[in-house]
Amino acid sequence: MMDHAKRLRSLISAMKARSLDALLVTDEANVTYLSGFKGQDSMLLVTPRRKFFITDSRYSEEAADTLKGFSIEVVRTTAYDTLRKLIRKSGSKRVGFESMDLPYEVAARLKAAVKPGRFMGERDMVEKLRAIKDPEEIALIRRSVSCAKKTFNRIVRGIRPGVTEEEIHRRLEIEFIRQGARSAFAPIVAAGKNSSKPHAHSGRTAVPKNGMVMIDIGCSLDGYNSDLTRMLFLGKIGDRLKKIYGIVRAAQEKALALIKPGVRISDVDRAARGLIEKAGHGGHFGHALGHGIGLSVHEYPSISGRTEARLAEGMVFTVEPAIYIPALGGVRIEDMVLVTKDGSEILTR
Ligand code: ZN
Ligand code: ZN
């Protein structure tokens, strides 16, 4: 059982540190994380004393049956009216909202509705809590990872020269469904030269006799996601690609070796990027080294050179260095890592 009360307590301490009397939570994954509710079009208004779950008549019965510790508020006229009433009733003066999620127009109208109270944009408040996974979440992530690995192993057997990207894509989707999962994102199957496009779309290109295929897949299972990329090599591979594969592999190992609590996240990115730059491919690696993963495929923290936060036990993220060379091909190797008490565990191997 997920301990939602504990999560709400942590959020309230974070709100106190920001002098917020209330926080409006609209991001769908954040609503699920704090309440356990899995439907849509619902939001939370969290205050130190009371927690409100705001939804419409489609979800009110389900919410009443499943949510504990929330007053359920069914929107009768408009969400603006409901929120204005609740904010007044709770006496909240400084109300935060999730500025990365709320559309501008909605935020502007709410700002007017909340007056004379202040309505303030906040970022990553719940996301920072979500970054540290609790044991129940880690167990679900492990199941999602094992789904992705199983899917990959079953699909690999059928990959032969001549099979198209689209066909592999279809087989992947069927395999996910067979395992009671969904695809966490549109799978990337890129044959030969197509692999130089980091997020190539599967098309009619066939697997070459001599060449490679990049496969990037993930399962969405019981709300939690996995994400891994593997390179398949068929027949004879040119020296240049072999060399690139070796560099990417070495860059990943270098980053992985660094992972433990207390290490600055930007240093993990720099370790891998530095090695790729030294090999002369700095311009061929344009994205961050990785991303947090859990309820969302991409979530806080980004494993990039700009993330000053430090690693902490319980974080789960991807490490996916890459080199993409237009007209030749690309290599990306992606694994998921759990930060443990004194190091890390690679979940996807
Ligand atoms: Zn991926
Ligand atoms: Zn990824």
Q: Which ligand is nearest to the CA of 299?
A: 2
- Residue in 137, 219, 232, 143 with CA at minimum distance from that of residue 192: 232
CA of 324 to the centre of ligand 1 (A): 15
| Tens digit of pLDDT at every position of the chain (349 positions) | 789 999 999 999 999 999 999 999 999 999 999 999 988 889 999 999 999 999 988 888 888 888 989 999 999 888 888 999 999 889 999 999 999 999 999 999 999 988 888 999 999 999 999 999 999 999 999 999 999 999 999 999 999 999 999 999 999 999 999 999 999 999 999 999 999 988 888 889 999 999 999 999 999 999 999 999 999 999 999 999 999 999 999 999 999 999 999 999 999 999 999 999 999 999 999 999 999 999 999 999 999 999 999 999 999 999 999 999 999 999 999 999 999 999 999 999 9
Report the pLDDT value the prediction gives residue 60, as an integer from 0 to 100: 84
Q: Which ligand is nearest to the CA of 185?
A: 1
CA distance 36 to 126: 14
CA distance 327 to 325: 6
Three-class DSSP category at 338: strand
Instruction: Kindly report, residue by residue over 22-43, the tens digit of the pLDDT.
Output: 999 999 999 999 999 988 889 9
CA of 21 to the centre of ligand 2 (A): 36
Let me know how long the chain is.
349
Three-class DSSP category at 128: helix
The residues whose Cβ lies within 5 A of ligand 1, an ion, are 216, 227, 229, 334
Q: Please say whether the beta carbons of 46 and 23 come within 8 A.
A: yes
Instruction: Kindly report, residue by residue over 54-89, the tens digit of the pLDDT.
Output: 998 888 888 888 898 999 999 988 888 899 999 988
- Residue in 16, 8, 174, 192 with CA at minimum distance from that of residue 94: 16
Task: Give the DSSP per-residue string, 33-72.
Answer: HHH----SS-EEEE-SS-EEEEE-TTTHHHHHHH-SS-EE
| HSE-up of residue 69 (Cα within 13 Å, Cβ side) | 18
Report the pLDDT value the prediction gives residue 322, as an integer from 0 to 100: 98
CA of 318 to the centre of ligand 2 (A): 6
CA of 199 to the centre of ligand 1 (A): 9
CA of 258 to the centre of ligand 2 (A): 19
CA distance 94 to 99: 15
CA of 333 to the centre of ligand 2 (A): 10
Q: Is 162 exposed, middle or buried, given 0-12, 13-18 or 19+ CB atoms closer than 10 A?
A: exposed
What is the CB neighbour count within 10 angstroms for residue 112? 10
- Residue in 217, 259, 219, 246 with CA at minimum distance from that of residue 321: 246
**Structural domains in the chain plus CATH codes:** 4-130 (3.40.350.10), 135-346 (3.90.230.10)
